[in-house]
Structure 1
Amino acid sequence: MTALSMYQASVPVFCRGLAALAKELEKAAAYAAERKFEPGILVNARLAPDMLSLAGQVQRASDTSKFSGERLSGTPSPKFPDTETTFPELQERIANTISYLQGLDPAAFAGSEDKEISLSTLGSFKGDAYLLNFAVPNFFFHLATAHAILRENGVAVGKRDFLDLQA
C-alpha cells in the first residue's frame, strides 16, 4: 500500500472544499436575486458579533489553503488584499486560489512532513502536524462557518452541498 503524500492530503482536499464553497456561494447569490434583496446582506452576515462575516470566512479558507501550499511546497502564494465585498469578487478569489493550488508541483511537497513550519501566533510544527492539526481543521472550520451563515440566512444548502456530493 502506498503512503498518502503531503500533496495528496492537502491540495486535492483544499481544491474540493473551495469548489464546494463556490457552489454554495452561487446558491446564495441566486437566493438573494430570487427574493430581491441586496446580496451584500449575505456577504456581510455573521453567526455572532465577534465572528468574521461570510466574506471573512471565505477569505480565511482561501488564505489557509494557499498559505499551506506555500509553506509545504516552498512555492510563493498570491497575495489577496481581503477587500472582497460581492459574490463575484469572492468567486474570483476562490478561483484564483484553486488555480494557484492546482499549479503546485506535487514533487515540491516531498519531505515537507518533516519541514519546520513556524506561525507567529502558534509556534512551530513539523509539516505533518501543521497540516493535520492546524491547516486542515482550520480550513474546514471556515468552510463550515460559511455554510452555517448561509443556512442561518435561509439559503438552501445542506450536507450534500458542503461535501460536494452529486444527487
Structure 2
Amino acid sequence: MSYAHSARTTFANMLGTLDHLVSKTQDAGMTDEVLGEKLTEDMFPLELQFRVALNQVLLALNQVAGKSLPLEEVTYQSLAEIRERIAVVRSHIDRSDAIEWADANDPVDLTLPNGVRFMMSSVEDIQDWIMPNFYFHVTMTYVLLRNAGLNIGKMDFLPFMARHRVVADQ
C-alpha cells in the first residue's frame, strides 16, 4: 500500500469523525456559541481547531498531490458551515488519485509562517508533519466538545471502526 493510499484513507476516516462530532453537537441542541470553547486562554478555540484540521488535509494535497487549493482562512460562523467545509475537503480527497501523488522520496520544502523551514521527503511530510498535526487538531475538537458537555465516547472518535465490528452469534 502506498503512503498516498494510506493517507487518503486516514483523511477520509477522520474527516468522517469530524463530521460525526459536528452532527452529534447539532443533534444535542448545542448552539454555534460552542465554537468559542477553549480549555485554556492560550489555546485555539474549537472553531480554529476544526479549521486547522481541515487545512492539514489541504496542505497535504498541495504539497504532495499536485493541487493548488486555497487554505481555510475565514473564521467559520456556524456548525452548519463546518459540516459544509468538511464535505468540500472530503470531496477533494475523493477526487485525488493516489497515483498522482508525488513519489515517496520526492522532496518537500516546507516553510512555516514563523520562518522555520523543513526539508523532507513526501512520505516524511505526511507521516512526520501532516498526520501528527491533523490528529492533534481532530483530538482537540473531540476534547473541547466533550468538555463543553457533549456526551461522546471513544467510538465517537473512531466511528469508522463500526464497519470492522464482529457481532457474536446470539
Tell me the C-alpha RMSD between the 2 structures.
1.6
SS at 1:9 equivalent: helix
1:77-96 correspondence to structure 2 within 5 Å: 77-96=69-88
Which 4+ residue blocks in structure 1 deviate beyond 6 angstroms? none
Unaligned runs of 5+ in 1: none
Find the counterpart in structure 1 of residue 11 from structure 2: 14
TM-superposition CA deviations, 1:5-60 (whole Å, max 9, x none): 021121110111011111111111222x2xxx6x1221111121111111101101
Cα deviation for residue 81 of structure 1 reads 3.0
- Which residue type is aligned with residue 105 of structure 2? D
- Which residue type is aligned with residue 110 of structure 2? L
The question of whether the paired residues in 1 share the 8 Å contact of 2:48 and 2:75 is answered with no
Q: Does 1:5 align with 2:39?
A: no
Q: What TM-score comes out, normalization by structure 2 length?
A: 0.86
- Which residue type is aligned with residue 24 of structure 2? K
Query: Sequence identity of aligned pairs in percent?
Result: 23
SS at 1:12 equivalent: helix
> Take 2:65 and 2:39, find their aligned partners in 1: how far apart are those partners?
34
1:47-66 correspondence to structure 2 within 5 Å: 47-66=39-58
Q: 1:97 to 1:119 in 2, by over 3 A?
A: same
Find the counterpart in structure 2 of residue 117 from structure 1: 108
> Take 1:70 and 1:79, find their aligned partners in 2: how far apart are those partners?
10
> Take 1:59 and 1:67, find their aligned partners in 2: how far apart are those partners?
12
The question of whether the paired residues in 1 share the 8 Å contact of 2:37 and 2:45 is answered with yes
Q: What TM-score comes out, normalization by structure 1 length?
A: 0.88
SS at 1:125 equivalent: strand
- Which residue type is aligned with residue 51 of structure 1? M
What is the count of residue pairs matched by the alignment? 158
1:118-157 correspondence to structure 2 within 5 Å: 118-121=109-112, 122-157=117-152
Between 43-52 and 71-80, report the one with greater CA deviation.
71-80
Unaligned runs of 5+ in 2: 166-170
Find the counterpart in structure 2 of residue 74 from structure 1: 66
